[in-house]
Structure 1
Amino acid sequence: METGAKNIILKTEDLNIGYSKKQQENVVASNINIAVEEGELVAVVGINGVGKSTFLRTISGVQPALSGEININGQNRENLSSEKLATMISLVLTEQPLSKNLGVAELVALGRQPYTNWIGSLTEEDRKMVKNALSLVRIEDLKAKKCYELSDGQLQKVLIARALAQDTPLMILDEPTSHLDMYHKAQVLKLLKDLSLCTNKAVIFATHEINLALQLCDKIILMKPDGVVQDSPQQLIQKGHFESIFPQDLIVFDRTTETFRIKT
């Protein structure tokens, strides 16, 4: 499937997400129809509790969809084995369990698990991919360190490098800038932008940093209680979508500066 010369890496059709319990459905968001092309950086934004993490978990296969279709690189995700899915989607979660006693190079090498043999031996190609991932994220100087020696910002870069080493067409990150200060938030999101351009991977991330997303992203998936829309930042601004995200007693969207600000 192509739009112009670009391949569509992720497409959803009439997707409903949420939770099923004892034959009862709790629908978090419905009728989600989005498309993400190769080389695009796409942010998923919205207020707390609107379903951003649920959406990412659903498209990545961590939890099932209630209904609808998810296509990854032209293939229905339901028809993909877990082994095949691991070669198509790499996932970076906010609070994922990992041993901080691992070395940086060891953690990045875990991204090669979908391709290694049953004892996890790395081939020369695997080592090349790990080295390339460290270089792309510009953390070669950290490769000899243990993960417990790293700052939050450094660890986030290592997790991004692990996702790169996995060599999938789609990278999904859930709030990759949580726990970071303003400078390092901007640094991580600028890194994701650079990576989407130089690797041609589709990169999707959930974030509360809407002002940064407006500046860096090719598209934004905006989740609101009354529906989900996807478009370029400029089109969403022109259509007034950002002016109804938050209660306007405190936060307002300024079209002139294209930023959110505190109402005074």
Structure 2
Amino acid sequence: MGERRPTTDLSCISREIRRDIIEMAHRSKSPHVGSALSCVEILAALYFDRLRLDVWEERDIFIMSKAHAAMALYATLAARGIIGRELLAGYCRNDGELPAHLDRFSARGVEASAGSLGHGFTMGLGMAYGLKKRGTGRRVYALMGDGESQEGSVWEGALFAPRLGLDNFTAIMDYNNLQGYGRPREICGFEPVRAKWEAFGWHVQEADGHDPRALCAALREETPGKPRIIIARTIKGKGVSFMEDELVWHYYIVTDEHKEKALGELR
């Protein structure tokens, strides 16, 4: 389970994950497909290149703070062989084991219950602090949405993490420039985002969030003494042309017609 994949393989894996997301959204008649599609390459780069998972008790930790995009994590865990693919059929369905928002008791590899935005990020900071105090080499990664970063809990953590020297913690912002009610700048703007995190004492990187090579390079970079945030520029609904950068796909369900058209593109 520990082999690193070439970035060309990561593109193929990303298409597989997107197909599973479309299938899950269609079966469950549930929303948030656009949010799930935007972070696929980020998860592929983490689970197939960066996270140390060979010895499960000594694994690196990944927290999906934007937990409404749970489909993306479940599909990635299945692609990585951490959960059985048969579990995907029960996503957000009666008698299924995978809820629409993450529950850490639902499946192997789900490290934290999340859904209230801003909480996964700060839980990850606490885990990173505990692991650092124990002197382990384990790392913690947390993925949050750009709209999520408007939460006060995120900024409290952002202020405190450098004081603790949490260089074993990486935050990744899925910056798709769309949240539940519009563009972040129209709701509660946070630009200049890079300058703000740098002013708080973080090591800041920016990357194309749909380029596996760029993401892997950013994730491999060492940041001694500082926590890190990677601002990943993404597109909501990425991979399905009629869903890309469309706010409605925060809420719309995938009909039979949508499914066939989306899977046709993803083949």
The TM-score, its normalising length taken from structure 2, stands at 0.34
Larger Rg: 1
Q: Whose strand fraction is larger, Structure 1's or Structure 2's?
A: 1
The TM-score, its normalising length taken from structure 1, stands at 0.34
Q: Whose helix fraction is larger, Structure 1's or Structure 2's?
A: 2
